[in-house]
Structure 1
């Protein structure tokens, strides 16, 4: 089994209580594998109770990337959260731990 990080890298951003995670294939040939493996439901399940709202996936085939918008993922957002990572910058690393078959 291979971890997602072997074929992709990630970037994370935030806006209020919403996290935005991009997963970018290291090689364009792996993009279809990302599309097949990373559904919005799988991403939501991977984060479990950390994500309180919906997860929406956007496909960016021209970039070989997927973008996930995670609502209610930042414990209220930067100005309200007491979390050490209030911006959620570590969330892309957590997502890259998903095992691929």
Structure 2
């Protein structure tokens, strides 16, 4: 792993949940959980809000990158969270 960017994690979570909903294969749900845990641990700024741009291979934050922008917060992050909530809401209890 050279680096991990925020948008890939956002889209991966939606994709893995979609695959789980289509196949019921629990491995896809496990992949979703792994990406969500990574996102919570390394990308979400729990002190100031929003997601960081990404992390380097050593998990240090990428310096000098935008924290918000037209394609970041209003599109990928927000859309991914809404899609995740929708998919989780349709899952059997």
TM-score grouping bracket, smaller chain normalisation: under 0.3
Give the alignment's TM-score, normalised by structure 1.
0.26
Larger helix proportion, structure 1 or 2? 2
Give the alignment's TM-score, normalised by structure 2.
0.28
Higher relative contact order (CA 8 A, sep 6+): 1
CA radius of gyration, larger in: 2
